[in-house]
Structure 1
Amino acid sequence: MKKKLLAAAVAGVLAAPVAMADTGNVTIYGVANMSFDMTNNGNSTAGVAGTSTNKVSSNQSRIGFKGSEDLGGGTSAIWQIEQQINMDNSTTNPNTFASRNSFIGLSDATWGTVLMGRHDTPYKIATRGLDVFADTIADNRSLMGMSAGGLANTLTHTGITGPFNHDTRVGDALAYVSPAMSGLTIAVGYVPGAELATTSTQIKGSAWSLAGMYNAGPINASLSYQAIDVGTTGTGTMGGMLLAAGDKGKAWKLGGGYTMDAFQVNLVYEKTTSSLTALAGGDGAAQNNWYLAGKYNVSASDAVKLAYTKAGTNPQGAGTAVVAGSGAKQVSLGYDHSMSKRTVLYALYTKLSNDSAATYVLSSVSTGSGALPGAGASPSAWSLGLKHSF
């Protein structure tokens, strides 16, 4: 249930003492999403059992505050402050105020919305709604949304997230979202990289993200593109921690969903490329990933879900070289029971199978992932969770 409070009642928290909030409403909202997970890292070493872990996870639980002010002429000032809440008392990603989508902007029914702040990129937004296991340990971002993921290559990354995380949220963002035009919405995001004012050789980093999204009747379709140019070390956070100045990453993605009565089917295809200065030849080959999912409502309150994700061979190496055995696949099966419009009880099983050289892990949206697998391992998990939205 949305709870609305007069802005004046929270002015002492959300505004400086000399800038009291104007009359209007503040909406408090959030999601509490907790699960009990039984995981196994699927150690690939012959004769060695995988490490099993039982844990309570907070899956993107969050609380937010948002509001608007009518400026007249159809234009409104809008704002939002949202943060992740780790309800499992995890020390991983400690609670930080405004860690999620937090922004200020102007919105108009005729010309659209402009905002500044921290926000999901249009590339991410375009297909998040197609993942039937979003914000669980079976989330498809175990394998998708990154360039050169899944390899423990010390030249570029740790083997956990890959050097370029395209399916992401960025700070210092400037974004425009068009009004819906016969079901079509256009979104554009720009991130200007900071520059150290020391020498003329400093490289400016920047990122662009574009998406066209169509949603009308039973059809949901999108086409998105993202490009990241990394600046001089320390001048921005657009990608992984071990990126070097001059590295570049690009990705494009096509998504589609169709709903017919009680059945829903979703498909996503993604192609990523990376150019890494630490590698001889610089340019990497393309990596192709895809996702297929289905959901069937067996009753008004119950649904079964099935998803398959495939990550192609990895573009790590000189020129167009790839690493053999660097792909992976993931299969997930789940059941949802809606206890009300805002509360869902869910159960799922997921298994990720790495090829011989790959080290992908199960989704990190469940805080505290346990022991990491070795190359070629097949981590798996059972999860029982409860999600409440307010």
Structure 2
Amino acid sequence: MQNVKTLAIALAAIGVAGAAQAQSNVTIYGRVNTSLEQTKIEGEDSVTKMINNSSRIGFRGNEDLGGGMSALFQIESGFNSDAGGGNLATRDTFVGLKSNLGTIKLGYITSPLYYATHDYLGMSNHDTGTSSDAFLWLSAYDPEKFYLRNSITYASPTFGGGFVFEAQYSALNEQATDSVALNRSARPTHYSATVNYDNGPLHVGFGYARTNKFYNFDEGKSKDSALTMAAVYDFKSFVIGGLFERNKSDNGGLQDISGLTGDHHRNHYRVSAMLPVGANEFHVNYGVARDWSSTNDTGAKQITLGYNYNLSKRTKVYAQWTKIDNDKQKSSIDNGDAYNGGGAYSFLSGTGLGLDNTSFGVGLRHNF
């Protein structure tokens, strides 16, 4: 009889543990992506560097609350795979609720516009490291961190055969006084809205993002925005995608970079293609940033050629060559020589206006 009681207690304990596991659904995920590259700024000696390509570790989970509703969370942290170190919750970190009416998240969240557009064009190395899109206008998001602080986002359920609507609002800073010394305003805000369409091999993303009053120029009236559309189609034998973006900067990010005041705009184009052959992938990614309005020689071109070999579904080795070809410095007479021109795009710190960046490297990436 004692054995029967012991067995009953053990089975009950197993049942309780099973119920607890069913209520708590947590996944650990991430990737380690490191490359060894020879990098060069025009006119300088080349430097051999080990580069961390957005390595990360994360925890995500959900709990079924019944009635079609669930709670969800994510804590994602970036770490330095090249030199060690990192901090907790430095990437997308949020808590939220999901129901048949949609999903709401609160926290530190990348703009839905990035995931709907730019993210799809980074086929070679997932828009990381030296090959990431140098023309992405960070000032339209959160110029200090890119991941948007103090955010609330809403994503609709799928409707109309593949459409999803998303919106975001972010109170980027919550300080009580202006940070005049840093040219920062006290209470900048960000908002964005996107529409995604996914149907089989086709993805289309379209949206608008804007950050207001981030900079303290002209009494904190700065505005930076991005109107973006991207499309990607998987033909199975190859994948091709394209992006168009219209940026505006009014006493904002452009003034912070160049000193150029007033309202200016530019266009940015990008195409990306991938040819898979067995375990091999051949990549090309080409982007063009046009001159900012009322300036000369402030644009640039960027090209990446890449080769990936997939050792498994989670592990690959790769080689890539990337170059940013900045327009050279020339006097801008239309602006009273206030701006000497020269493209300002780089993936290497300390790059002067108008100087090119080049990198060639090999790397290893593992997802888990």
Q: Compared with structure 1, are the counterparts of its residues 287 and 231 closer, same or farther at alpha carbon in structure 2 (3 Å cutoff)?
A: closer
Residue 106 of structure 2 is matched in structure 1 by 116
Residue 74 of structure 2 is matched in structure 1 by 80
TM-score (norm 1): 0.76
- Given the alignment, which residue of 290, 294, 299 partners 2:269? 290
Deviation digits for residues 230-268 of structure 1 (CA, Å, limit 9, x no counterpart): 2586xxxxxxxx997221111100101111121111100
Superposed, 1:290-309 pairs within 5 Å as 290-299=269-278, 301-309=279-287
Residue 5 of structure 1 is matched in structure 2 by none
Residues 1:224 and 2:220 aligned together: no
Residue 365 of structure 2 is matched in structure 1 by 387
Distance in structure 1 (CA, Å) of the matches to 2:318 and 2:215: 45
Q: Compared with structure 1, are the counterparts of its residues 33 and 73 closer, same or farther at alpha carbon in structure 2 (3 Å cutoff)?
A: same
Q: Could you say which structure has the greater relative contact order, defined with CA pairs below 8 angstroms and 6 or more residues apart?
A: 1
Deviation digits for residues 42-88 of structure 1 (CA, Å, limit 9, x no counterpart): 22xxxxxx221111111100001111110001110001101001011
Distance in structure 1 (CA, Å) of the matches to 2:145 and 2:194: 12
Distance in structure 1 (CA, Å) of the matches to 2:236 and 2:145: 30
What is the SS of the residue equivalent to 1:125?
A: helix
Ranges in structure 2 where 5+ consecutive residues have no aligned partner: 1-16, 179-184, 329-341
Residue 88 of structure 2 is matched in structure 1 by 97
Q: CA RMSD in A?
A: 3.0
Deviation digits for residues 109-168 of structure 1 (CA, Å, limit 9, x no counterpart): x21110000011012111212222324434342122345xxxxxxxxxxxxxx9974993
Ranges in structure 1 where 5+ consecutive residues have no aligned partner: 1-8, 10-19, 44-49, 148-161, 234-241, 316-320, 363-368
TM-score (norm 2): 0.80
Identity of aligned residues (%): 29
- Given the alignment, which residue of 143, 147, 151 partners 1:173? 151
Amino acid at match of 1:325: D
Residue 332 of structure 2 is matched in structure 1 by none
Q: Compared with structure 1, are the counterparts of its residues 22 and 232 closer, same or farther at alpha carbon in structure 2 (3 Å cutoff)?
A: farther
Residue 189 of structure 1 is matched in structure 2 by 168
Residues 1:359 and 2:344 aligned together: yes
What is the SS of the residue equivalent to 1:141?
A: coil
Residues 1:63 and 2:57 aligned together: yes
The answer to whether the Cα contact below 8 Å between 1:163 and 1:243 also exists between their aligned partners in 2 is no
Residues 1:256 and 2:231 aligned together: yes
The answer to whether the Cα contact below 8 Å between 1:166 and 1:251 also exists between their aligned partners in 2 is no
Residue 116 of structure 2 is matched in structure 1 by 126
Superposed, 1:369-388 pairs within 5 Å as 369=348, 372-388=350-366
Structure of higher CA gyration radius: 2
Residue 5 of structure 2 is matched in structure 1 by none
- Given the alignment, which residue of 122, 129, 133 partners 1:137? 129
Question: What is the aligned length?
Answer: 325
| Greater per-residue helix proportion | 2
